[in-house]
Copies of this chain bind each other. A is one copy, B any other.
Amino acid sequence: MKKEIKIFKALGDSNRFRIIKMLEQRSLCVCEITEALELAPSTVSKHLSILKEAELIDDLKKGKWVYYKLCKEVKFAADILKLVKTKIPNDEIIEKDIEFINSEEIKKFCEIKIKEKK
């Protein structure tokens, strides 16, 4: 499939759009995204693979966790990401997502996962 069509298809789903908007804030591990979207981990993983296949995001393994971040190379995907970042006003859901990933709640959620083992 044409690369640009893949990009548009990838962005044409509201859950994937939410992921992109959260990744504008900072890179996130799969479990954080899963927690925010309230979907099954396998579903989130599939969404992430579609975004990655479109070269909108990239992954980075850190131990057990896999972190995803926006892909900012110089190409059409980066242009689109810039437009998405600068020109689309956040709706309620996006605002709530951003609030969530910046919250103490999600920080604790991650800490507990680590500390539980100590």
Residues on A facing B (Cβ under 8 Å): 1-2, 4-5, 8-14, 17, 76, 79-80, 83-84, 87-88, 91
Contact = CB atoms under 8 A, between A and B. Distances in A.
A13 to B, nearest CB: 7
Given A5-B12, A14-B5, A17-B4, A83 B91 contact: no
Contact of A76 (B13, B17, B83): B83
Contacts of A11: 5, 8, 12
Nearest to A93: B2
Contact of A12 (B8, B76, B79, B91): B8
B87 A76 contact: yes
A29 B93 CA distance: 39
